[in-house]
Amino acid sequence: MSALLQARDLVRCYEGPKSLFGKSPAVRAVDGVNLTLRPGETLGIVGESGSGKSTLGRMLLGIDPPTSGTVAFDGEAMPPLQSPRWRALRAQMQLVYQDPLAALDRRLTIADQIGEPLEIHRLAKGAERSERVRDLMAQVGLRQDQGDRYPHELSGGQRQRVVIARALATSPRLLVCDEPVSALDVSIQAQVVNLLRDLQESHGIAMVFISHDLKVVRNICDHVAVMYLGRIVEEASSDEIFAHPLHPYTRALVSSVPIPGKPLTGRILLKGEPPNPAQRPAGCAFHPRCGSAKPACHVAAPPLEPVALARRAACHLLVSPQDHAA
């Protein structure tokens, strides 16, 4: 199957604060990311704050233009921002993010918000539109009488359902979810995670699921990419990566998740904090915090290379010397 979304060498730089004495060096928020998403597939992107995962998500949608590199949707290059073709493409790809209250217009009723994309993209109007809105509300588990309510009258979980319904209105082929359940309580989070899974299965939507919550990512995603300081450090199937993490950072990340009934001892504790992207360490960006860093790690940044079947990782310790020589 051909790729629905293909990202090549994506780089996004942000200018440092301007000064009278010339520009300070640019911050590379995303630094050379390659990704492929097949139709109907769910790709998880995990990482800590500052890893560039949200910036990557916006670039995949074409909302944030890359500094260099390309994004192709359905085999065609992403049209320039705000061009007519770009706007038409919005119907195909939608974004769901963390704070549903900020994503909703507090002066519009729920039904109006869900119907808005249908109007923008001239997909349905009048009775047909109301019918479609009722259908969408039912799909995300909202009661019909809630259509006349305003966002502040709903709970956090219900608001996120509204955002999801609105995103689904145009029958998109790609959904990028940026921390969609992070603001929700555990019991409600499970409702929304199940909803996303169901919708994805029934509609065959491809999904990019950005989150810092490994447990949720594992539950919902087929494939997972781990980001550290703007780069992908490991990529594998969801089952593999959490059961047998290879990259030292992934190992620490997986081990840091507190599991009920599991004591603290034996966990991998990383030294220090993720470095500032403006001061990227030389060599492997992870080496200052890595427990098994070798001299080579201080010098050269390891490329993302296949380390096993359908797995890639960027670590000097995982690739044998012969591979390097080759």
Partner 1 sequence: MTFVSIRDLKVAFDGVHVLHGIDLTVARGEAVGLVGESGCGKSVTWLAALGLLPGKATVSGSVTVEGQQLIGAARASVEAVRGGRIAMIFQDPSSSLNPVRTVGRQICESLALHRGLDGRARRAEAVRLLDMVGIPDAARRVDLYPHEFSGGQCQRVMIAMALAGEPDLLIADEPTTALDATIQAQILDLLSTLRRETGMAMVFISHDLGAVGAICERVNVMYAGRIVESGDIAPMFERPRHPYTQGLFDAIPRLDGTRNRLIPITGTVPDPRRMPDGCAFAPRCTKASAFCTDTRPDLKPQTDGRDLACFHPVAHQQTVAGEERRRIPA
Partner 2 sequence: MLTYMLTRVFRAALTILLVMTFAFVVLRLSGDPAAIMLGPDAPTDSVDAFRAEWGLDDPIWKQYFAYLKSIAQLDFGISMRDRSSAIMLVLERLPATLALTVPTLLIQLGIGIPAGVYAALHRQSVADRGVIMLSIFGFTIPSFVMGLLLVLVFAVTLGWLPSGGQDSWRHAILPILTMSVGGIGILARFSRSAMIEVMGQPYIRTAMAKGLSWRDVVWKHALPNASVPIVTIVGFMVGSLIAGAVVVESIFSWPGIGRLLIVSVSNRDLAVVQCLLLVIASSMVIANLCVDFAYGLLDPRLRAKTTAH
Q: Say whether residue 285 binds partner 1 (CB under 8 A).
A: no
By beta-carbon proximity to partner 2, the closer residue of 2 and 19 is 19
Token pair belonging to 299? 């010098």
User: Angle at CA 44, nearest 5°, toward 38 and 47?
Assistant: 140
Token pair belonging to 139? 């799909």
Q: Say whether residue 38 binds partner 1 (CB under 8 A).
A: no
Q: Is 294 in contact with 317 (CB distance < 8 Å)? A: yes
- Identified binder of partner 1 from the candidate list 6, 55, 94, 158, rule CB under 8 A: 158
- Identified binder of partner 1 from the candidate list 262, 294, 298, 324, rule CB under 8 A: 262
- Identified binder of partner 2 from the candidate list 1, 2, 17, 75, rule CB under 8 A: 17
Q: Say whether residue 326 binds partner 2 (CB under 8 A).
A: no
Cα–Cα distance, 242 to 323 (Å, whole number): 25
Q: Say whether residue 200 binds partner 1 (CB under 8 A).
A: no
Q: Say whether residue 19 binds partner 2 (CB under 8 A).
A: yes
By beta-carbon proximity to partner 2, the closer residue of 279 and 322 is 279
By beta-carbon proximity to partner 1, the closer residue of 76 and 145 is 145
**Distance of closest approach, residue 258 Cβ to partner 2, in angstroms:** 24
- φ, ψ for residue 121, nearest 5 deg: -95, 15
Nearest Cα to Cα of residue 36 among 76, 77, 2, 86: 2
Q: Say whether residue 239 binds partner 1 (CB under 8 A).
A: yes
Q: Say whether residue 279 binds partner 2 (CB under 8 A).
A: no
Nearest Cα to Cα of residue 175 among 211, 205, 212: 205
**Residues, the chain, total?**
326
Q: Is 148 in contact with 111 (CB distance < 8 Å)? A: yes
By beta-carbon proximity to partner 2, the closer residue of 17 and 84 is 17
What is the greatest pairwise CA distance in the chain? 68
Give the DSSP H or E segment for 325.
helix 321-325
Q: Say whether residue 264 binds partner 1 (CB under 8 A).
A: yes
- Identified binder of partner 1 from the candidate list 270, 285, 314, 318, rule CB under 8 A: 270
Cα–Cα distance, 144 to 138 (Å, whole number): 7
**Distance of closest approach, residue 260 Cβ to partner 1, in angstroms:** 4
- Identified binder of partner 1 from the candidate list 1, 269, 325, 326, rule CB under 8 A: 269
* SS3 at position 37: strand
By beta-carbon proximity to partner 1, the closer residue of 61 and 196 is 196
Give the DSSP H or E segment for 152.
none
Cα–Cα distance, 45 to 190 (Å, whole number): 19
User: Binding segment for partner 2 among 18-26, 178-186, 222-230, 297-305 (CB under 8 A)?
Assistant: 18-26
- Which of the residues 107 through 166 are near partner 2 (CB under 8 A)? none
Residues of this chain that bind partner 2 (CB under 8 A): 17-20
